Amino acid sequence: MIQPDENEVPPEIIHNHRFYPYFKDCVGAIDGTHFRVKVSKEHVARYRGRKDFPKQNVLAACTFDLRFTYVLPGWEGYAADGCVLDDALEREDKLKVPNGKFYLVDAGFMLRDGFIVPFRGTRYHFCSK
């Protein structure tokens, strides 16, 4: 596991007037993604999500320079991102959020200490024409 320097503000934030000082305490972003997997026939139903094939939910945390700092694979395809995050925070080799810092997460996660979720109903992605 890569441990980012807790006291250092990432250059991607400190050198951007849109992000600094608002995100100076942000250490990275977390999201879940699904991978297609092969499992035994008796376990296929547990790993099937909204698609017709089995998949695995993988939680990953990364820094602003795209370095992975935490990866938790192995969850069944139907598992919600929030459940996987709960497990990541409770296990022996748990995801650690430094005191006074936070991660950015998407709307699939709950708002809680150390994690900032976007406001519902607000557009954050704008396409240029």
For residue 104, being part of any structural domain is answered with yes
CB 118 within 8 A of CB 125: no
For residue 128, being part of any structural domain is answered with no
For residue 1, being part of any structural domain is answered with no
**Predicted local distance difference test score (pLDDT) of residue 128:** 53
Q: What is the DSSP letter of 10?
A: P
For residue 43, being part of any structural domain is answered with yes
Q: Could you list the residue range(s) of the whole structural domain that residue 73 is in?
A: 11-116
19 alpha carbon, distance to own chain's centre: 19
**Predicted local distance difference test score (pLDDT) of residue 8:** 79
For residue 35, being part of any structural domain is answered with yes
The better pLDDT of the pair 84, 7 is held by 84
∠ CA 60-80-71 to the nearest 5 degrees? 15
For residue 2, being part of any structural domain is answered with no
Q: How many domains does the chain have?
A: 1
Q: Write out pLDDT tens, residues 114-124.
A: 999 887 776 66
For residue 89, being part of any structural domain is answered with yes
For residue 3, being part of any structural domain is answered with no
Q: Which two tokens stand for residue 36?
A: 């297609």
Q: Is residue 50 over pLDDT 60?
A: yes
Mean pLDDT confidence for 97-111: 89
Q: Which residue spans within the chain are E strands per DSSP?
A: 26-36, 55-62, 68-76, 102-104, 115-116
CB 94 within 8 A of CB 88: yes
For tokens 């990275």, what's the residue?
Answer: 28
Residues near 31 by Cβ (< 8 Å), separated by ≥ 6? 59, 60, 81, 105, 106, 108
